[in-house]
Amino acid sequence: MNIDARIGIIGGNGWLGNAIAHALVSSGTLEASRLTLSGRSERRGTMDIPGAYWTRDNDELAARSDVVLLSVRPEDFSGVEIDASGKLVISVMASIRARTMAERLGSDAVVRSIPNAAAAIRRSFTPWFATPAVTAEGKKIVQALFDACGEGAETTSEADIDYCVAMTGTGAAFPALLAEALVAHAVKQGLTPEFARRAAKGVVAEASQLFAGDRADPAEIVREMINYRGATAAALQTTLDQGFNEAVAAGLEAAIARAAELSPEK
Ligand SMILES: NC(=O)c1ccc[n+]([C@@H]2O[C@H](COP(=O)([O-])OP(=O)(O)OC[C@H]3O[C@@H](n4cnc5c(N)ncnc54)[C@H](OP(=O)(O)O)[C@@H]3O)[C@@H](O)[C@H]2O)c1
């Protein structure tokens, strides 16, 4: 779907704001002339967005926009002072609650979301939550915006967004960790580091495409491999017996605790 609304991204010069702006325009979802981007400094994002309007004045950004997307760090939210009444507010900030934003910005129509680093290549799975004041039309805009960055997915629970900071928000981090573990072992067995890296990427980034999209789900692949009783079954069963699931769960719990610790909302 093309978005007809005007969108302003506060923090459009930052890493994620720039990636979202670029995804919106490069996918053809939004005309650049409908996009306003702001930053505190003169610095612009690494990806060029020809035709977008730049300002350092967030009031001007709000005046030029029907939808205001907040892409500043949570600790910088207190520095954003705009009147967003009558506008749809979308936040990608971890940990700032919808109610806090509604109170501070004067709009009850608030969406919280957690994209991840893969937005830069338009492959981010982005969960989003909308307050009851967000209209059906507003939700269509949000879905189109995050589909432009990969795949948007609405959830009806705000708590899911806090959880997803630790899970989907980690983006490529867990796959990268698995790839590193594979490389470390392969190098110990005598493979050259360069060959081991190519091999691990082939497994983690390429072979995993077998369960990408709507194709077979990962649980089915694990079950099939274990039932086959071959070398892969031995690898999987031993890894599981060594506490793989428990290690992943502990990592997720640690991320949730750390996000709460970093949150300006106590
Ligand atoms: N990076 C990720 O993968 C990821 C994933 C999920 C969620 N998030 C969330 O996305 C948000 C942005 O993260 P990021 O990684 O893109 O951070 P970032 O690169 O530091 O970008 C934040 C930008 O906000 C700008 N900014 C700060 N205060 C501002 C203000 N009052 N008015 C206008 N611009 C302002 C800064 O501009 P100046 O440099 O000019 O000061 C900076 O470029 C964070 O809340 C984070 O929790 C990020």
**Strands annotated E in 92-175:** 110-113, 124-130, 150-154
Q: What is the mean pLDDT of residues 155-167?
A: 96
pLDDT given at position 98: 97
> Could you tell me the domains of the chain?
7-157 (3.40.50.720), 173-262 (1.10.3730)
Percentage of the chain lying above the pLDDT 70 cut: 99
Pocket test for ligand 1, best of 15, 70, 113, 164 (most atoms within 8 A of CB): 15
Per-residue pLDDT tens over the stretch 123-156: 999 999 999 999 999 999 999 999 999 999 999 9
pLDDT given at position 94: 92
CB 141 within 8 A of CB 88: yes
For 145, counting Cβ atoms within 10 Å of its Cβ (0-12 exposed, 13-18 middle, 19+ buried), the class is buried
pLDDT given at position 162: 94
- Closest atom of ligand 1 relative to the 171 alpha carbon: 3
Pocket test for ligand 1, best of 40, 41, 78, 261 (most atoms within 8 A of CB): 40
pLDDT given at position 6: 98
Alpha-carbon gap, residue 185 to 182, rounded angstroms: 5
For residue 213, pLDDT over 80 is answered with: no
Contact 149 CB / ligand 1 (< 6 Å): no
Q: Ligand 1: which residue has its CA nearest to atom 1? A: 16
Handedness of CA 258, 260, 263, 266 (dihedral sign): negative
Contact 152 CB / ligand 1 (< 6 Å): no
Contact 115 CB / ligand 1 (< 6 Å): yes
pLDDT given at position 214: 75
Would you place residue 179 in the very low, low, confident or very high pLDDT band (cuts 50, 70, 90)?
Answer: very high
- Closest atom of ligand 1 relative to the 74 alpha carbon: 45
pLDDT given at position 147: 98
Ligand 1 geometric centre to CA of 168 (Å): 18
pLDDT given at position 241: 97
Specify the pTM: 0.94
Alpha-carbon gap, residue 251 to 109, rounded angstroms: 33
Give residue 64's Cα distance to chain centre. 26
Pocket test for ligand 1, best of 20, 43, 73 (most atoms within 8 A of CB): 73
Q: What is the mean pLDDT of the chain?
A: 95
CB 259 within 8 A of CB 162: yes
Ligand 1 geometric centre to CA of 76 (Å): 8
CB 21 within 8 A of CB 9: yes
- Which candidate, 13, 51, 47, 14, places its Cα nearest to that of 31? 51
- Closest atom of ligand 1 relative to the 58 alpha carbon: 32
